Amino acid sequence: MDSLVSIERVSRYYAMDHTRVRALEEVSAEISRGEFLAVAGPSGSGKSTLLNLVGCIDRPTSGTVRIENIDTNRLAASELAALRRLKIGFVFQMFNLIPVFTAFENVEYPLLLQGLGKAERRHRAMEALEQAGLADRARHRPDLLSGGERQRVAVARAIVHRPALVLADEPTANLDTTNATQLLDLMRDLNRSLGLTFLFSTHDPRLLGRATRVIRLCDGRVSADTNLAEAANEPVSPAGL
C-alpha cells in the first residue's frame, strides 16, 4: 500500500524536575493511506506523545517523522503549521470547539485559514456537516448540542479541508455507549467511503474492535503491531487490552 506516514526510530524525552523522562523510545512504524489504525496502551505509555509527533505539534528528540515523504524535522515552525493546516485533521477528546461559533462556523473555520472564498467555504462546511448527520444543527452553538453531537461537529471540522490524515486522541473517552457507537460508525464510514486515513489513540475496546490494525505501546516502546482481518471484523481480545 501507498505509505503516508513513516515513523523512523523516534524517541521523545522531556526534562522534569532535573530528570530526563522517557515518553517514547525507538518507535518505528509505517502508516499506509486508507488505514483505520489504533494506538493502544495504558496511561503514560506514549500514545498522545506519538500522535503529537505525527501531527507536527511536537518534535522528536531523535528519529524522523515523514509525512508524504516530507521530513518534518527539516521544516521551520511556519512550515509545520502550514503542513498541519493542509494535510492533517484533528479530533480532540474535549472537542475543542469555539463556544461562540455555531456548528457551521466551527466547521468552516479551517477553510477561512486556508483563504477559500465564501461560496466554497459554505459548500464544503455544509457537506461535512451532512456527512456527520448534523445539517439540521448547523446554526446551533456547542452549548446547545449534546456531547455526541459536539464530537461529530469536531469530526466534520477535521475532514472539511480534505486532509491526508485524521488524528483522534481518545475520541470516545467522554461519550456514552450510544454516542460512542454513532461516532465510530461515522469515522469508519468516512474511512471506507472517502478513503480517509485515521490514526487514533484509545484504550476503548469498542474502538479497538473497529480498527484494522493496532499498534500497542508499553513504557514508550512498541510491544505489538497487529493487522486485524477487516473482512472478518475480528474483535481485539479483551486480554490484550
Angle ∠(214,217,219) on CA atoms, nearest 5:
175
Residue 73 and residue 59 in contact, taking contact as beta carbons nearer than 8 Å: yes
Q: How confident is the model at residue 238 (pLDDT cuts 50, 70, 90)?
A: very low
Mean pLDDT of 136-141: 98
Residue of 32, 83, 86, 78 lying closest to 53 (CA atoms): 83
- Residue-wise pLDDT tens digits, 185-227: 999 999 999 999 999 999 888 889 899 999 999 999 999 999 9
The SS3 of residue 195 is coil
Above pLDDT 70, what percent of the chain?
A: 94
Indicate the domain borders of the chain. 3-232
pLDDT of residue 231: 40
Superfamily of domain 3-232: P-loop containing nucleotide triphosphate hydrolases (3.40.50.300)
User: Look-up: residue for cell 461516532?
Assistant: 183
Helix 118-131 to helix 103-113 angle (10° resolution) is 130
Mean pLDDT of 137-165: 96
Q: What is the pTM for the complete model shown?
A: 0.90
CA distance 158 to 107: 8
- Residue-wise pLDDT tens digits, 7-63: 999 999 998 877 889 999 999 999 999 999 999 999 999 999 999 999 999 999 999
